[in-house]
Structures are given as C-alpha cells and as structure tokens.
Amino acid sequence: MRVLIIGSLSGELGVAARIAAARGATLAQAETVDAALECLRADARTDLIICDVTHDFGTLMRRLAAERFTTAVVAAGAENDEKAAVDAIRAGAREYLPLPPDSDLIAAILSAVSTEQKGEFIARDPAMRAVLSQADQVAPSTASILITGESGTGKEVLARYIHERSRRRKGPFVALNCAAIPDTLLESELFGHEKGAFSGAIARRTGKFEAADRGTLLLDEIGEMDARLQAKLLRTLQERTVDRIGGDRPVPVDVRILAATNVDLRSAIADGRFREDLFFRLNVMTLRIPPLRQRPGDIAPLAHHFVAHYARLNEVGTKHLTSRAVERLLAYSWRGNVRELENTMHRAVLLSSGPMIDVEHIGIPTEAEEPSYLLSPHAHATAGDTIGSLVGQRVEDVEQALILETLNHCLGNRTHAATILGISIRALRNKLREYAARGAEVPAPHNGVAA
C-alpha cells in the first residue's frame, strides 16, 4: 500500500515511517499540507495519510473534504497529548498514532486500511485450481474480465494474480471499491476533475483511470455503481478516453479493466439496476470463485498460511496448528469464506500463548453447535432463536460485554483487542474509561502484556 507522510522524518515520525516501510508500505513524504495536497492531486494511488498533528491537522481535514479526497488519515502525536488526540479524532482522523510509535499498532492500522495482498493465490483444491488455470490462460490478453463470487472469497487477490501474470505487470495495479465511496464522490475518484469544476476544486486532480494508465484497474463491487456513472464508465471503455469533471477535452488512457461483484448482474439487469451494454463490455470472460465450503482442499493450506503471516506480523514467534485444530477447521461451514478464515487465524495467533494453536484458540463451533441458519441457506427463520437471549438488553450493555470479553481473551492487550473488534485503539481506550467510570471491572494487562 502507498502511505503519504506529512511532516519531518528526522524524529519519531520518521521512526513510524520506517516501521511502515518494513511492513511493506511504499512511502512518499511531504513537509507541508500544501505539498501533500499536490502529491494527492497528481497521484490517485495513495491509500493512507499519516500526518503530524503539529501541521494544522484540522485545516488538512477540511481541505481534503473540500477537494473530495476520500483517503484515510491517521494523526500522529505525543502519547500523553490527550487534547491533540481528541481534536484529531473529532476532525475526522481514522486513528491517533501515539509517538514514540508502537510497531503492533502501526501493523494494525495498515491492516485495517488496506486489504492489499500480493498476487499469490493459495489453491490446492481442484475446483480452485481450475479457476487459476483459466486465469493463467486469459491473463496475458487485454480482455476485460468479470470476477464473481461470494463476499470474502478473494476476488481482489485473484485480480492481482491476473495483473502480475499479464503483459502489464510492470505497470500500476489500482483497485477501487465502488460501494465504499458515496456516489457524489465516486465520479471524481474515477475520472478526476479540473480546477473550478465544483466548489472546492482548487486544482486539477487525476482519477483512478489515469493512475492506472498502462496498468490494470480493478472496479470492485461494480454492481453497486450508480446508473449515471455506469453510462460514463461505458463511454470511457468504448472511447479509451477519460472526461475529467469540468474538462473540455478527453484524456487518452490505456487501462485494462477487471471488475468484481458478489451480486448477480443478470438479475440486476432485469431489475433495471445495471446496464446490459456495460455488462457485455465487462463480461468478455467470467471467472467465478467458488465459496470456501465448496473447495475444502484449500482450508488447511490457507489456515497454515495465515498463521505464519500473522505470527510474523505480530512478532510472536513461530506457531503451528494442531491436528485437532485442523479437523475443526475442516468441519466448519465458513459462511464468511476466506476472509472469515483469515480473521479466525489472526485471532487464534493472538490468543495462543505457546507455539501450538489448538481448538480452544480457534473459537469456532462444531457443526452440531453451529446455528442452523448458518448451516442451511433455507432456514433463516430460525435465526431469531440464536439471538433471543439478547432481546430486552440495551445495545450499550451488549457492546460492553463483547468488548470486555474480547479484552479478557487477549489477556488485557488493548492493541490486539482493538484489532479483533475492528475499532481504533483510541476508541477502545475511550470505551474502557467509560466502563471503568460506571464501576465495571476492566481487565488489566496480564504478565507484562502491553496495554
């Protein structure tokens, strides 16, 4: 992933930058907010901004919003500067990074912001091997490819696999999640804009199409795109030019398009939600990734891969799955597919104190224990039985119980608990302060585990 650092690299912010680089990030640096904005306008591939809070952080956030930048921003400042942290979060920062930096927290921030993975696609099951064989055949071509499959099956990973085996592998790979950006901002993200095109457009900005020139552009969740933008996208694909918002001339682009979706586009066409002509333009070739439950031969290899990856990422030494743990993984239905397996292995790495990961660290039910609505797609009516015990409880109480129980499992480690819960470390600490003020027993760090 690409990270833009705003501030001097001579001090503790530079240490944070070097940790991010060691975790695989590609770095750019700007001394001022103005210089940072120039970098963002010229290159649409930035995934994360880390800004020193001494650089008028509030102004940075207002200017990013005015120019319709959707890049995630992390504020960095002194650990004991509570006011700066609160002000940064209120201004719109996704996270506050205390300095001196903690390597685990930086790893968690990078993981939360980016799903980027190398083009390695672990496939041992015959069903997945057949998909990769097709991908190998079409990768060298210039054809558009539609990648389909349930959420969490690895559509972006397959897209990167195709790019790295194409004739464009030396060019950029740019991914855009069409469902993650509001329609009002998506057009500018895709096509860019000219100075004065709208209020806040104080300078020209390139979009994802131009960022992916001579490379590959992945349009993820393409089925969620607004109909008006579908028409503009179709015209761009036909003409091989981009019309920036407010522009008076088309800009030539040489981009290969990969599109991904977890919805049935033919049904969306029938419902009037997706253009048929765009579907045929994208669907030169379709690659369908089977759900994980239909390729059981991949479960164990993927699990071992994720254990090794997260053990290395969290610097906890070498870890291995026991045979009992593998048996439990193979017996589970994995409705969340590879993403659920990855999260489960990440959690198991954090919860296991020794080198072996066993059944109790995995925390998934046996088939007999699984809710019936997970085991059968036709049994949704029974879903209420599994949550009936929560009826009558306040949302705040359920949230508190979940957070405290997760913290107990993590032996009081705030960073690991925040990672599992999918919230920022700052948000977690604020919650814990609230709970303590109410008289709740908040787990303390155990045996020297960092808070």
Please report the pLDDT score of residue 254 as a whole number.
95
Query: Average pLDDT of 248-259?
Result: 94
Task: Pick the range with the lowest mean pLDDT from 163-172, 187-196, 226-235, 268-277.
Answer: 187-196
25 near 106, Cβ under 8 Å?
Answer: no
State the average pLDDT for the chain.
Answer: 84
Distances (CA, A) of 357 to 9, 297, 307, 345, 362: 39, 20, 9, 9, 8
Please report the pLDDT score of residue 258 as a whole number.
97
* Superfamily grouping for domain 2-113: Response regulator (3.40.50.2300)
Distance CA 308, CA 349 (A): 9
Query: Average pLDDT of 278-295?
Result: 95
Confidence band, pLDDT 50/70/90 cuts, at residue 248: confident
Residue 261 has pLDDT above 90, yes or no: yes
Residue 293 has pLDDT above 50, yes or no: yes
Partners of 97 in the beta sheet? 76
Please report the pLDDT score of residue 277 as a whole number.
95
Task: Pick the range with the lowest mean pLDDT from 2-11, 76-85, 373-382, 383-392.
Answer: 373-382
* CATH placement of domain 293-370: 1.10.8.60
Distance CA 133, CA 158 (A): 12
Contacts of 349 (CB under 8 A, 6+ apart): 307, 310, 311, 314, 316, 319, 357
Q: Residue ranges of the domains in the chain? A: 2-113, 126-290, 293-370
277 C-beta neighbours (distance < 10 Å), count: 12
Residue 386 has pLDDT above 80, yes or no: no
Please report the pLDDT score of residue 383 as a whole number.
39
Confidence band, pLDDT 50/70/90 cuts, at residue 173: very high
Please report the pLDDT score of residue 378 as a whole number.
37
Instruction: Kindly state the DSSP code that residue 222 receives in the 8-state scheme.
Output: G
Task: Pick the range with the lowest mean pLDDT from 91-95, 204-208, 412-416.
Answer: 412-416
149 near 289, Cβ under 8 Å?
Answer: yes
Residue 68 has pLDDT above 60, yes or no: yes
Please report the pLDDT score of residue 411 as a whole number.
65
Instruction: Kindly state the DSSP code that residue 382 receives in the 8-state scheme.
Output: G
Most confident of 104-113, 282-291, 396-405, 409-418: 282-291
The tokens describing 268, both together, are 């969306």
For 32-88, where are the E strands, in sequence order? Answer: 48-52, 72-78
Q: Give the residue among 187, 132, 190 at the shortest CA–CA distance from 165.
A: 132
Q: Looking up tokens 């030019």, which residue turns up?
A: 241
Distance CA 313, CA 158 (A): 23
* CATH placement of domain 126-290: 3.40.50.300
Confidence band, pLDDT 50/70/90 cuts, at residue 399: confident
3-class SS shares of the chain: helix, strand, coil, % to 5? 50, 15, 40
Task: Report pLDDT digits (tens) over 188-231.
Answer: 889 988 888 877 777 888 899 999 999 999 999 999 898 889 99
Distance CA 317, CA 447 (A): 17
172 versus 198: the higher-pLDDT residue is 172
On the question of a common fold for 2-113 and 293-370, the answer reads no
Residue 296 has pLDDT above 50, yes or no: yes
Residue 43 has pLDDT above 70, yes or no: yes
Amino acid letter, 54: T
Task: Report pLDDT digits (tens) over 344-370.
Answer: 998 899 888 899 999 999 988 765 555
